[in-house]
Each structure stands twice: as structure tokens, then as C-alpha cells.
Amino acid sequence: MADHLIPIPSPGQPLSFGRPGDPLVILVHDWYGRLPGLVALGEGLVREGFRVVIPDLYSGVATLDDAEAEGLMTSLSVGVALAELDDVIATARAEGSSRVGVVGFSMGGWIALLHAQGGSEDAVVAYYSTLAPRDHGVIPSPVLLQFAEFDEWEADETPESFIDRLREHGTPVTEYRYVDTVHSFANADIQGKFAPRSAELAFARTANFLVKHLLD
């Protein structure tokens, strides 16, 4: 199964970009791991005025293979992943960052939404992610949801049911769906799923959302 694993730079250590003390944005990778495309997104957010940190939740490996990715995700400790976000936020606050946003992709979006229930974030963006009722608590910060047109969901995890629950709890929520896209459309490293124009538009909306809630 390990035939498809790809070693990545700075294994197990967060990658940091931008000026310490600027508003923090954490990018949380999807089930494939911290692939190079996330660095380009991070650098784009730095140009908007953010401090960006990209954790490595897989301890030094990533993959382009779906079966391998599923195995990596299954072996992930959710508690450890949430604690990793806690550590990143604590470090950034010690450096002077007063506002925090988290952007997560698929598995990373799920982790971001879980973590946001603790109230540490000022804004959350989740790509092709929802929470099931069993995982769902109140998310006090504004949420931006980016969905593919074609995706697979469990009956109680559909975007519609998730958005209804968010609104019932009073969470400000914005959603977009991208025509003729599939899950992972924003991952530039995954051929056959990446949709450049939709990914670019989604990133622009993500950046605008973060600027509104973290910089304005």
C-alpha cells in the first residue's frame, strides 16, 4: 500500500509564510496530504496580508492515489489533528496575531468545522465538507462553504441538511457551488479532478471572505 506515498518537505512540521503577527490563516490539507499546490494558495493569501501556516497531519507523507489517501485518513487521530491546530493558533497569538481563520479541504474542511466549535476562529472556509448531526455543535464564527456540483454524501451529511443546522444555530453561512466540478476540484495536484477556473474563482471568494472577517 505504501507504493504511492510521497515524502514531503519539513515532515511533521508546519510550513509558515508571511509576517508573524499578521492575522493568521491555517490551511488544512485534504486526505491526500500536504501536496505542493497548497503552498501556492498560502503564498496567495500572504499577498492579501495574512500570516499563513500549513500543518502536516500525516507526519511527512502525501499521496496522489485515492486508496492510499483513504488509508492515511483512516489512520489519522482526529484528536491529534485538532491539537495541532490549537498549537498553531497559540503560537500565532503569542506572535501577535489577533484574528484567526481556518481553510480546510475535504477531510481538512471537516477538521476545520469541528475545531471551529471551540470558538478559536473568526472565520472558517470548508471546501466540499459538512458535519453529520453527531459531530455538529454550534459554530460561532461566519462560515463559507465551497461545494462541487457532483459529489457523494451520506443522507444526514448533505449540504442542505448541514446548512439548515448552521442557520438554526444562528451561524452566518455563505455557500457556493461550482458548475461541472467534482470533489477535489480545487486540488491542483489531482489530475482529472482539478478544475482551474472554478478553483480560481473559489480561491478569490475565499480570500475576499477572509479579508472581510480578519482584516476589515
User: How confident is the model over 17-42, as pLDDT tens digits?
Assistant: 999 999 999 999 999 999 999 999 99
Q: Using CA atoms, how far apart are residues 195 and 211, in angstroms rounded to an integer?
A: 24
pLDDT tens-digit readout, 164-205: 999 999 999 999 999 999 999 999 999 999 999 999 999 999
What residue type is 36 in one-letter code? P
Relative to beta strand 61-63, strand 5-7 is antiparallel
Categorize the per-residue pLDDT at 1 as very low, low, confident or very high, splitting at 50, 70 and 90: very low
pLDDT digits (tens, 9 = 90+) for 64-97: 999 999 999 999 999 999 999 999 999 999 999 9
Amino acid identity at 170: G
Q: Percentage of the chain with pLDDT > 90?
A: 96
The pLDDT score that the predictor gives to residue 216 is 81
Determine contact, residues 170/199, Cβ cutoff 8 Å.
Answer: no
pTM of the model: 0.97
Residue 3 is predicted with a pLDDT of 66
Q: Are 128 and 109 in contact (CB under 8 A)?
A: yes
* DSSP 8-class letter at 169: T
Distance of alpha carbon 8 from alpha carbon 100, whole angstroms: 26
Cα–Cα distance between 54 and 15 in angstroms, integer?
A: 5
* Rounded-to-integer distance, Cα 85 and Cα 69, Å: 21
Question: Was domain 2-215 assigned CATH 3.40.50.720?
Answer: no
- At 83-137, the pLDDT tens digits run 999 999 999 999 999 999 999 999 999 999 999 999 999 999 999 999 999 999 9
Mean pLDDT, rounded, for 207-213: 98
Pairing status of strand 100-105 against strand 123-127: parallel
